[in-house]
Amino acid sequence: MSALLEVNNLKVRVEDREILHGLTLTVNKGQVHAIMGPNGSGKSTLSHVIAGKPGYEVTDGEILFEGDDLLAMEPDERAAKGVFLAFQYPVEIPGVATMNFLRTALNAQRKARGEAEMSTPDFLKKVREVCTRLNIPQDMLKRGVNVGFSGGEKKRNEVLQMALFEPSLCILDEMDSGLDIDALRIAADGVNALRTPDRGFVVITHYQRLLNYIVPDVVHVMSHGRVVKSGGKELALELEESGYAQFEDKAA
């Protein structure tokens, strides 16, 4: 099994405060890793640094994606190479029609990879297929990106993009928040449909519930900017019963 993502001893500061204190994580191709942990433990920070969000200072460590130095790449280069982050809080972009955004983004990624633009009929066909599978009404795509969407609709729009762009590394940051149980099941099916031996997933969640639908290979517990425990899927169940308090103490 070859490594898709390697995070080694990552230390990250935000506004002079260290948030990640030497985090290490390796995701192999074909694997689903779950990251659980209390609010404020640094889960979103990790996802942002992997995606290349400005404002974070990496003071130590490295992130390799398929062996390449991810931190040296622009955010759009990372996307073109197959890194995808489904945001915990997707932003609203007034005035940008969702359909136009999707096509522009897809073709920008293809162009960066040296592939030809996707034709409009092919694109429309693909969007229709994905929308049907994820039970997303096409009307949603006529609106501005996420504008006036409910929390659940925003999350579904993230999964839609993931299904459309077919990235090789999918990071899902609290995809379950805001989704009711039916929507959660459909979204999880969308994720599971992408599970192939070439892809890897990092599923960040606060609750064990999501992991009933997206069954992980490895579960990590994060606390105060570090991975404090790793195990199999049974670790998630254990956490559900005993809570995070035990780890809070250890890291404090």
Ranges within 34-73 binding other proteins (CB under 8 A): 51-55
Single out the residue of 15, 32, 45 nearest to residue 224, CA to CA. 45
112 is a site residue for other proteins (CB under 8 A): yes
Q: Which residues bind ligand ADP (CB under 6 A)?
A: 14-15, 19, 37, 39-45
Min dist. Cβ of residue 53 to other proteins (A)? 5
Give all strands of the β-sheet with 68-69 in edge-to-edge order.
17-28, 3-14, 57-65, 68-69
Tokens of 12: 């990250």
Nearer CB in complex with other proteins: 90/225:
90
Which element (helix H / strand E) includes 51?
Answer: helix 43-51
Min dist. Cβ of residue 90 to ligand ADP (A)? 15
Ranges within 115-174 binding other proteins (CB under 8 A): 144, 161, 165
Q: How far apart are CA 206 and CA 153, in angstroms?
A: 20
Q: Map tokens 């889960």 to a residue.
A: 43
Tokens of 7: 């995070």
Q: What does 91 interact with, of Mg ion, ligand ADP, other proteins, none (CB < 5 to 8 A by kind)?
A: other proteins
Nearer CB in complex with Mg ion: 65/87:
87
Tokens of 98: 């969702």
In the complex, the residues that contact other proteins under the rule CB under 8 A are: 51-55, 74-76, 78-80, 85, 87, 90-91, 93-96, 101, 104-106, 108-109, 112, 144, 161, 165
